[in-house]
Structure 1
Amino acid sequence: MYLTIRHDTSYRYEATVHYSIQQLRLTPASGAAQVVRRWTIDAPGKLDATFDAYGNVLHTLVINKPHDEIRLNVSGEVDTIPLVDGQLRDAVGPIPLEHYTCATRLTDADAAVRELAESVETLATANGLIKLSEEIVQRVKYRPGVTEVTSTAAQALALGNGVCQDHAHLMLACCRARGIPARYVSGYIEPGDVPHGASHAWVDVWLNSTGWVSVDVTHAAFASEIYCRLATARDYEAAAPVRGRRIGGLEEKLKVSVTVSAQVPPQMPQQMPQ
C-alpha cells in the first residue's frame, strides 16, 4: 500500500515565549513493515537529528528568540508491506526484551488490570492477543476527551472510557503483568470508513513462536499495510511525536491536523520482448 501523509501541528501562546525546546519523533524509518519514499519536516528553526535509545529518529528544535507561535509541518510518502497476522518479521531491536516486561508509570498494573490480564486464558498466541483486545475495548469504550496523555492504564480502566493511547497502555500493562514483552507504537493509520484515525497508537507483542506481532487494540485487529510506524518505546511518554518545554507563554492553544490517504502502488510497466 502507498500512503501519503500530512501532519500539521501549531502551538499558539497567550504571551511571548522566550525559550522553547521540542523533541520530535515525527520521522518514520524503513524496515520490515515499510519503506519510506519521501519525508520532510518544516520547522521554524534548525533541526538537530539523532537517534534515541530505542532507535527512533529524534529531532531537537531549540528556539531561543521571542515567539508566540510554533508551526510544524510534516509530509511524506511511505510504501507499506502486507503483514500476515501482524507478524513484523523484524529483529528484537536495540533494547533487550526484558526491558519491555517492566511496568512504567503509565502501564503499572493494579488489581483490576491484573484481573483483566487473566481474563484471557493465553497471551502466547496471536489469537489470544486479539481476544484480550476485544475485552479491553469492551471495558474501555472509545471516547475522546475523558482521559489525558498523562492518564494511566489503571485510570482508563476505572473510567471505562479512553482513546487509542489508553487501549495500548492497557494491553501493555496486561502483557507485562504476565511477563510478556510488549512495546508501544505511535504512528498513522489510513482511516477509510473506520473511526479513530489518522494519528494512532497500537502495540507490538513479542511471541516466542513468531517474534513481534503488531496489534491495533482499538480495532481488535492486527496492524496491516494501512499503518505507518513512527516510533516505538515502553509507553507514550518515550514515544510521543512531540514533547517540549518552554519559558513563558502562559496559556497554550494546540491545533493538530492529520490526513492519510492510501492507494495501490503503481506497477512498473512490463518490457516488451525484443
Structure 2
Amino acid sequence: MLLTIRHDIRYRYAAPVTYSIQQFRVTPASGAAQIVRHWHVEAPGKLDATRDAYGNALHTLVLTKPHNEIHVSVAGEVETEALSDGRLFDEAGPIPLEHFTCATPLTLPDAAIRELAHRVSALDTPASLVALTERIGERVRYRNEPASAAGTAAQALASGFGDARDLAHLMLACCRARGVPARCVSGYVDADGHDVAMHAWTDVWVEHGWVSVDAAQAGFAGERHCRLAVARDYEAAAPVRGSRVGGKEEALTVHVSIDAQPDQ
C-alpha cells in the first residue's frame, strides 16, 4: 500500500509568545513494515535533528523572537507492507525488553485491569493478543475524538470509553500486568475516507518478535498503518510536545489527510 500523507499543525496564541520549544516525532523510519519514499518537515525556524533513546527521529524547534503563531507542515509518501499475524520481523530495538514490562503513570494496572488481563488464558501467540483486544473492546467503547480521552488506562476502563491512546494504554497495562513486554506506537492510520487523526496502537513481544496490534480496531496493525515512534506510553511517543513563555490562551489546529493506493 502506498500512503501519501499530509499533516498540518498550527498553534495560535492570544498574546505574543516570547520563547517556545517544540519537539516533533513526525518522521517515520524505514523498516520491515514500511519504506519511506520521501518525507519533508517544514517549520518557521531551524529544526535540529537527532534520535531519542528509543531510536525515534526527533526534531527540535526553538523560537526566541516574539510570535503569535507556529505552523508546521509535514508531507511524504510511505510504502507499507501487509503483516502476517501482525509480525514486524524487526529487531528488538536499542532498549532492553525488560524496560517495556514496567508500568508508567498512564499504564499503571489496578485490580480491574488485572482481572481483564487474565480473561485471556495466555498472551503467547498473535491470536491471543487479538483475543485480548476483543475483551478490551467489550469493556471500553472507542471514540475517535480527542475530547473523549480518559487519561489513564484505569480511567478508560472505569469510564467505559476512550480514544486510541486510551485503548493502547489499556492494552499496554494488561500485557505488563502479565509480565509481557509491550510498547506504544504513535503514527497515522488510513480510515477509508473517514476523518483521520493521529493514532496509537501497541507492539507486543511474542515468540521472539514484535507483534503489532491495534486495540481500537480489535485486530492486527497492517498496511494502512504508518509508524512514527515507539516508547513505553503515548506521552513519550507523542508527535508533538513543547513548552512556551507567554502567549496566554492557545488554540491548536491539527489536520491529517491520507491517500491510500494499492501497490502497482
Alignment TM-score, normalising by the size of structure 1: 0.93
Q: What are the superposed Cα offsets for residues 179-219 of structure 1, whole Å, 9 maximum, x if unpaired?
A: 000000001111116x6734211000000x25100001100
Larger radius of gyration: 1
2:63 maps to 63
The residue number in structure 1 matching 2:5 is 5
Corresponding residue SS for 1:45: coil
- For 1:204, the aligned partner's letter is D
Superimposed CA distance per residue, residues 96-131 of structure 1 (whole angstroms, 9 cap, x where no aligned partner):
000000000100001111111111111111111111
Partner of 1:262: 260
Contact 2:168 2:201 in 1 (8 A): yes
Shift of 1:142: 1.5
Matches within 5 A, 1:132-143: 132-143=132-143
- In structure 2, the residue matched to 1:146 is 148
Residue identity matched to 2:131: K
Q: 1:69-98: per-residue Cα shift (whole Å, max 9, x none)?
A: 100100000011221010000111000000
SS of equivalent to 2:168: helix
Write out the 4+ residue segments of structure 1 that deviate beyond 6 Å after TM superposition.
Answer: none
SS in structure 1 of the partner of residue 148 of structure 2: coil
> Which residue does 2:215 correspond to in 1?
217
1:231 is aligned to 229
RMSD of equivalent CA atoms? 1.2
Structure 1: state its 5+ residue gaps: 267-274
Give the structure 1 partner of residue 36 of structure 2.
36
Alignment coverage as a number of residue pairs: 262
Identity of aligned residues (%): 63
- Secondary structure, in 3 states, of the residue corresponding to 1:172? helix
How do residues 1-274 of structure 1 correspond to structure 2 at under 5 angstroms?
A: 1-143=1-143, 144=145, 145-147=147-149, 151-192=151-192, 197-207=196-206, 209-266=207-264
1:16/1:66 contact within 8 Å kept:
yes
**What SS does structure 2 have at the residue aligned with 1:175?**
helix
SS of 2:116's equivalent? Answer: helix
Name the SS of the counterpart of 2:84 in structure 1. coil
Find the aligned partners of 1:215 and 1:6 in 2 and give their Cα distance.
24
Q: Which runs of 5+ in 2 are unaligned?
A: none
Within 1, Cα distance between the matches of 2:197 and 2:221? Answer: 14
Amino acid at match of 2:84: V
Q: Counterpart of 1:70 in 2: which secondary structure?
A: strand
**Residues 215-272 of structure 1: CA distance to partner in whole angstroms, max 9, x if unpaired?**
0110011011111100000001110000000000111101010011111233xxxxxx
